[in-house]
């Protein structure tokens, strides 16, 4: 055991001098998590604001209602910023220059056309460089149009029930439309808490990048055995009066220490710098230990397949990238369904991310995911142990 610790300490000092190891273990995953959170994360979580223009060429009651009852509340919540354009041409010029993300144009006669039972359209002019903002604007306009259609149907039903018609004398169409608009929806959405919570985007990307680069980090321990065989220093270790198992144990210990240190540091750094919420520390600690063991087992199997250091690096990179993509570290692959959803469950990345989601509820909830990670660790370690003597041969 003492010899294994000595070998591990030597490898760790060597890796600390190698700045590339620090980059892969700490700097790159934290930087990528921050970049993804600033781009995809903010847009998907609603933390990003869009600038929209409104060109009201109608000046009627419905166009004013769209501005007052639909757009103004979104502006009050900080989701959008509004600008008033004097005409459709001015709104189009703003969109083409990139001043706004999109513009709503309510044409002249919009209110009369809708209240008269006809059809009218809201034109959305999008900034070509702001596709997300344009889609949001189109969705807002579409929702308003659907609401107007519902009011038209309700108004027609009320008139039919009262024996009136659109042009009947003595029928106050405005009052009827107001009553129709006040009718509550027949069904509403209710949010119910599930037994397993989903990670917010900041935490998802921080944890995803941490576990994605974990397989790259733990390879520095076991891959050094291939390097030493190439450099002929393995012959000196084998000639020394130490058990062969201590040589292998020292390399495995190096991988475990590097992987654990990387995950713990990223957990603390992403929590303090990015505001990630990994969950209960005790549950996170269980997942980190189980995840590092699983990653080390997979890396050990891959290392036994390599004949040269270059081949080992290629194998490790392929395995790390494929498992990371299948495991859902960049996007939730499980939601695709079918065979792909089943395949993702064989990766440690999937179970680590699943465990973190369960850790939002309580520590005990991470145990199934941790058990799955340990099963992967035991299975891969058993395969690696059968082939490990091959690595310890000169």
The residue ranking higher by pLDDT, 88 or 361, is: 88
The residue ranking higher by pLDDT, 161 or 73, is: 73
207-216 pLDDT, tens digit per residue, is 999 999 998 8
Q: 10 in a domain, yes or no?
A: yes
The residue ranking higher by pLDDT, 224 or 172, is: 224
Q: Within this chain, do residues 33 and 60 fall inside the same structural domain, yes or no? A: no
Mean pLDDT of 197-213: 85
Q: 88 in a domain, yes or no?
A: yes
Mean pLDDT of 29-56: 75
Confidence of residue 56 (pLDDT cuts 50, 70, 90): very high
Q: 195 in a domain, yes or no?
A: no
What pLDDT was estimated at residue 12?
74
Is the model's pTM score more than 0.85? no
Range list of H helices, the chain:
2-17, 19-22, 28-36, 42-45, 61-65, 72-76, 88-97, 110-115, 131-162, 173-181, 201-212, 214-230, 233-239, 244-273, 281-304, 309-326, 338-343, 348-359, 367-391
**Among 21-30, 178-187, 235-244, where is mean pLDDT lowest?**
178-187
**pLDDT at 391 > cutoff 60:** no
**For residues 303-336, b (16+ Cβ closer than 10 Å) or e, as one string?**
bbebeebeebbebbeebbeebbbbbbbbebbbee
Q: Within this chain, do residues 7 and 60 fall inside the same structural domain, yes or no? A: no
Q: Within this chain, do residues 279 and 377 fall inside the same structural domain, yes or no? A: yes
**pLDDT at 52 > cutoff 60:** yes
Domain boundary among 181, 214, 238: 181
Q: Within this chain, do residues 244 and 327 fall inside the same structural domain, yes or no? A: yes
Phi, psi angles (nearest 5°) of residue 163: 80, 10
Q: Of the ranges 29-33, 141-145, 218-222, 376-380, which is most confident?
A: 376-380
Q: Which residues contact 193 (CB under 8 A, 6 or more apart)?
A: none
Q: Measured between alpha carbons, how far is residue 75 from residues 7, 43, 102, 134, 389 in Å?
A: 62, 16, 14, 16, 66
**Average pLDDT value for the chain:** 79
Confidence of residue 235 (pLDDT cuts 50, 70, 90): low
CA 189 to chain centre: 24
Could you tell me the residue range of the domain that residue 130 belongs to?
49-181
Q: 79 in a domain, yes or no?
A: yes
**pLDDT at 175 > cutoff 60:** no
Mean pLDDT of 285-311: 86
354-372 pLDDT, tens digit per residue, is 999 888 887 888 999 999 9
Q: Which of 81, 73, 75, 74 is nearest to 52 (CA)?
A: 81
Q: Please tell me the total count of domains within the chain.
A: 2
Residues recorded for the chain: 394
Q: Within this chain, do residues 60 and 114 fall inside the same structural domain, yes or no? A: yes
- 8 Å CB contact between 122 and 105: yes
What pLDDT was estimated at residue 84?
92
**pLDDT at 240 > cutoff 70:** no
Domain boundary among 123, 148, 181: 181
The residue ranking higher by pLDDT, 89 or 22, is: 89
Q: 186 in a domain, yes or no?
A: no
Residue showing tokens 């969950």 = 279
The residue ranking higher by pLDDT, 260 or 195, is: 260
327-363 pLDDT, tens digit per residue, is 888 877 776 666 777 888 889 999 999 999 888 887 8
- 8 Å CB contact between 16 and 192: no
**pLDDT at 185 > cutoff 80:** no
Mean pLDDT of 253-265: 89
Q: Within this chain, do residues 162 and 310 fall inside the same structural domain, yes or no? A: no
What pLDDT was estimated at residue 28?
84
What pLDDT was estimated at residue 11?
73
What pLDDT was estimated at residue 191?
46
Domain boundary among 153, 181, 209: 181
Q: Which residues contact 244 (CB under 8 A, 6 or more apart)?
A: 238, 389, 392
Q: Within this chain, do residues 24 and 54 fall inside the same structural domain, yes or no? A: no
Burial level of 390, CB count in 10 A (0-12/13-18/19+)?
A: exposed
Confidence of residue 20 (pLDDT cuts 50, 70, 90): confident
Q: 189 in a domain, yes or no?
A: no
Q: Within 10 Å of residue 109's Cβ, how many Cβ atoms?
A: 14
Q: Within this chain, do residues 94 and 138 fall inside the same structural domain, yes or no? A: yes
What pLDDT was estimated at residue 333?
72
What pLDDT was estimated at residue 153?
66
CA–CA separation, 85 and 157 (whole Å):
37
Longest CA–CA span in the chain (Å) reads 109
Q: Tokens representing 231?
A: 């450099």
**Among 117-131, 164-178, 371-385, where is mean pLDDT lowest?**
164-178
Q: Within this chain, do residues 257 and 350 fall inside the same structural domain, yes or no? A: yes
Percent of the chain with pLDDT over 70: 75
What pLDDT was estimated at residue 82?
92
Q: Which residues contact 216 (CB under 8 A, 6 or more apart)?
A: 24, 25, 316, 317, 320
Q: Within this chain, do residues 21 and 99 fall inside the same structural domain, yes or no? A: no
**pLDDT at 74 > cutoff 80:** yes
**For residues 253-290, b (16+ Cβ closer than 10 Å) or e, as one string?**
bbbbbbbbebbeebbebbbeebebebbbeebbbbbbbb
Q: Within this chain, do residues 154 and 234 fall inside the same structural domain, yes or no? A: no
Mean pLDDT of 146-170: 61
Q: What CATH number did the domain enclosing 141 receive?
A: 3.40.190
Q: Which residues contact 343 (CB under 8 A, 6 or more apart)?
A: 326
Q: 193 in a domain, yes or no?
A: no
Q: Within this chain, do residues 264 and 369 fall inside the same structural domain, yes or no? A: yes
Confidence of residue 231 (pLDDT cuts 50, 70, 90): low
Confidence of residue 168 (pLDDT cuts 50, 70, 90): very low
CA–CA separation, 272 and 231 (whole Å):
42
Mean pLDDT of 43-61: 78
Q: 228 in a domain, yes or no?
A: yes
Q: Which residues contact 27 (CB under 8 A, 6 or more apart)?
A: none
Q: 214-230 and 244-273 helices cross at what angle (nearest 10)?
A: 150
């Amino acid at each position: 055991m003492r010899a294994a610790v000595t070998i591990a300490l030597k490898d760790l000092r060597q890796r600390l001098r190698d700045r590339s190891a620090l980059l892969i273990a700490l700097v790159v995953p934290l930087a990528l998590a921050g970049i993804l959170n600033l781009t995809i994360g903010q847009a998907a979580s609603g933390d990003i604001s869009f600038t929209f223009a409104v060109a009201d060429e109608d000046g009627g009651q419905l166009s004013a209602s769209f501005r007052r009852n639909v757009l103004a509340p979104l502006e009050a919540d900080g989701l959008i910023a509004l600008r008033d354009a004097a005409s459709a041409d001015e709104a189009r010029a703003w969109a083409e220059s990139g001043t706004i993300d999109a513009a709503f144009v309510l044409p002249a006669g919009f209110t009369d056309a809708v209240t008269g039972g006809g059809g009218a359209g809201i034109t959305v002019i999008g900034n070509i460089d702001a596709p997300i903002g344009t889609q949001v604007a189109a969705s807002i306009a579409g929702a308003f149009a659907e609401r107007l259609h519902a009011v038209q149907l309700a108004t027609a039903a009320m008139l039919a029930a009262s024996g009136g018609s659109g042009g009947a004398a003595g029928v106050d169409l405005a009052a009827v439309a107001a009553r129709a608009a006040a009718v509550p929806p027949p069904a509403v959405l209710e949010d119910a808490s599930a037994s397993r919570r989903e990670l917010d985007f900041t935490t998802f990307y921080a944890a995803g990048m941490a576990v994605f680069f974990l397989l790259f980090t733990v390879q520095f321990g076991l891959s050094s055995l291939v390097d030493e065989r190439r450099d002929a220093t393995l012959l000196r270790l084998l000639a020394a009066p130490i058990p062969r198992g201590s040589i292998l144990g020292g390399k495995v210990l190096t991988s475990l220490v590097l992987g654990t240190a990387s995950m713990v540091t990223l957990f603390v750094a992403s929590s303090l710098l990015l505001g990630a919420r990994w969950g209960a520390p005790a549950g996170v600690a269980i997942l980190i230990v189980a995840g590092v063991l699983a990653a080390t087992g997979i890396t050990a199997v891959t290392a036994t397949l390599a004949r040269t250091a270059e081949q080992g690096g290629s194998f490790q990179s392929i395995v790390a990238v494929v498992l990371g993509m299948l495991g859902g570290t960049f996007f939730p692959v499980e939601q695709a369904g079918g065979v792909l959803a089943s395949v993702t469950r064989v990766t440690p990345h999937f179970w680590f991310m699943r465990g973190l989601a369960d850790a939002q509820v309580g520590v005990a909830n991470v145990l199934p995911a941790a058990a799955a990670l340990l099963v992967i660790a035991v299975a891969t370690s058993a395969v690696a142990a059968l082939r490990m003597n091959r690595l310890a041969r000169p």
